Structure 1
Amino acid sequence: MQRKAFDSGIWSDLPGEERSRIIKQIVDKINENAKRLTLLEVTDSGSTIKKAGEDVFLSAKSLNHYSKMALLNLDEEVEGLSKPGVSKNIVKRDPIGVCGLITPWNFPLKMAIWKLGPALAAGCTVILKPAMETSVTAMELARMISETDMPKGVVNIICGEGSKIGTELALSAKVDKIAFTGSTRSWKDNHEECFG
């Protein structure tokens, strides 16, 4: 689904202004549901209410920052190669494709946002695989995203054991980039095939 969504251009071909607008809708959903998300973070991860509330606030703030990044044109002229009146050499930055995002158990919502935000701003589609132990807020995030104008298939969230799902995600030919946060040991223990 995420590969089809990327290849179709329903997200990557949208103007940055439109991607920014939709990402801001997610920010609004996080802010509207801040109390609920805070309680879910406390229940799910054992966090204190104060810390969980700060994490939810910072998640919304971070995602708002990423929404502004969608507005940036990062193309740049290559100095020294362009010849005025003859040629212009430009580095063009395009979305990389489908991003697999693997997050650890701590800071569940904040880590998800730190990975989702830049990928979505760049025009990538994503598969988020939260830690099995703390996946409740990721599933709530999925529900909130479904209430925005986000095209179907752009954000996909899959839960389960890291050694199975995380490895499958990391080895999939349909995934163009992996963003993993966790210990080196965890990666080696759960994703040994990726080193082969």
Structure 2
Amino acid sequence: MTAARTRADWQRQAEGLHIPDQAFIDGRYVDAASGARYACISPIDGRVLAQVVDADHLDVDRAVAAARRSFEAGHWSRAAPAQRKQVLLRLAELVERDADELALLETLDMGKPVRDARQGDLAGVLRCLRWTAEAVDKVYGEVAPTPLDTLGLITREPIGVVAAIVPWNFPLLMACWKIAPALAAGNSVVLKPSERSPLSALRLAALAAEAGVPDGVFNVLPGHGQRTGEPLALHMDVDALAFTGSTAVGRRLLQCAGQSNLKRTWLECGGKSPNLVFADAPDLDTAAQAAAAAIFYNQGEVCTAGSRLLVQRSIKDAFVARVLAYGRHMQPQHPFEPD
């Protein structure tokens, strides 16, 4: 069981780990057209994990062309829903098979405790893939209420080529939240992971191919925002864009959508939430533990981190003391430590 693994166990696996470093376009790993690469650095100890492909507009063109070609060919977009369902379920099986490796890549790449990556993030990835796969043949269209001489049908159809741009705090989970529904509906996808944490997405590409996702249907472009993300958002042959990240970047991507083909755009931008604690709370210890976890979990690198704490004045001193006590038990350690 993963929970019983020691720091030494994770270290041994890390030493023999294959680090993916190329873009994934049209079913194969490839170098950038320009040959450009950048250092992918682990926040654990500052060491260079790999020199990863730094994609630019030429690679965006290649990936989008592959996605369009695969979409028009219909091997995926017009496949029977049950077929897409089985492929996505197979992908979930492969992710579960390689969950330790994916969790380790996540930890090396962005620094979170490997226990959290394995038990939290990977569990969420599996739920997302399996739920979405099962929805393929269970989420129906509708018949609109119309006069007797009129028939109105609402159908669910793939839109075409979907670009997905995701952040570095939950790299694989955020990616799957975007690509799983897009693939389930029959779209072709170009995923741009954060330049700070591209490794798990690049590994996922190989698993998708192994699961039976046709060439060109799922592409992964590592690279920086202006070199890779902005050309994707401006591309005239991208039909939809999904993004999670900062408000400033989201605003820029929305401008790009408007400057190009008015592609449909979904933005999940930055925003944090306060915790409110009142004197009549039934259990202040539980509330304090929740408040500490809300800001310290995942190093505080969470879209909905509880970065403000609003406490009724009469309990302020006692409550803050409790929060600090929990915080003292959440001190940084090497992320391979199981506890």
Q: TM-score, normalised by structure 2?
A: 0.55
**TM alignment of 1:53-72, pairs within 5 A:** 53=118, 54-72=120-138
Q: What residue is the counterpart of 1:96 in the other structure?
A: 159
Selected match of 1:12 from 60, 64, 77: 77
Give the number of aligned pairs.
Answer: 193
Amino acid at match of 2:106: E
Match of 1:159 in 2: 222
Q: Pick from 51, 54, 68 the counterpart of residue 3 of structure 1.
A: 68
Percent identity between the two aligned chains? 34
Following superposition, the deviation at residue 184 of structure 1 comes to: 1.0
- What are the Cα deviations for residues 6-58 of structure 1, in whole angstroms up to 9, with x where unaligned? 11111110111000000011100110001111111110110101210110111
Q: Contact 2:233/2:256 (CA < 8 Å) preserved in 1?
A: no
Q: What is the alpha-carbon root mean square deviation over aligned residues?
A: 1.6
Task: Please report the TM-score for the alignment, with normalisation by the length of structure 1.
Answer: 0.93
Asked if the contact 1:99/1:179 (under 8 Å) is kept, the reply is yes
- Which structure exhibits the higher relative contact order, with contacts defined as CA atoms closer than 8 Å and separated by 6 or more residues? 1
Q: 1:41, 1:137 within 8 Å by CA — same for their partners in 2?
A: yes
Q: Extract unaligned runs of 5+ from structure 1.
A: none
Aligned equivalent of 2:101: 36
The residue aligned with 2:16 is none
Are the aligned partners of 1:162 and 1:190 in contact in 2 as well (CA < 8 Å)? no
1:115 and 2:178 are equivalent in the alignment:
yes
Structure 1 residue 72, shift from structure 2 partner: 2.5
Match of 1:26 among 91, 99, 112: 91
- Aligned match for 2:234, one of 168, 171, 175: 171
Gap change, CA 1:38 and 1:9, over 3 Å in 2: same
- Whose helix fraction is larger, Structure 1's or Structure 2's? 1
Partner amino acid, structure 1, of 2:128: S
1:54-81 deviation per Cα after TM superposition (whole angstroms, max 9, x unaligned): 1011101111001011113522111124
Superposition deviation, residue 162 in structure 1 = 1.1
Task: Tell me which structure has the larger Cα radius of gyration.
Answer: 2
**C-alpha distance in 1 between matches for 2:172 and 2:256:** 28
Alignment partner of 1:78 is 2:141: no
Q: Where is the strand percentage greater, Structure 1 or Structure 2?
A: 2
8 A contact 1:166–1:191 mirrored in 2? no
Render the CA deviation track for 1:132-182: whole Å, top value 9, x for unaligned: 000000011011112121111100111101112100000111100000110
Answering whether residue 218 of structure 2 is matched by residue 149 of structure 1, we say: no
Larger deviation, residues 31-40 vs 69-78: 69-78
How far apart in 1 are the matches of 2:211 and 2:111? 29
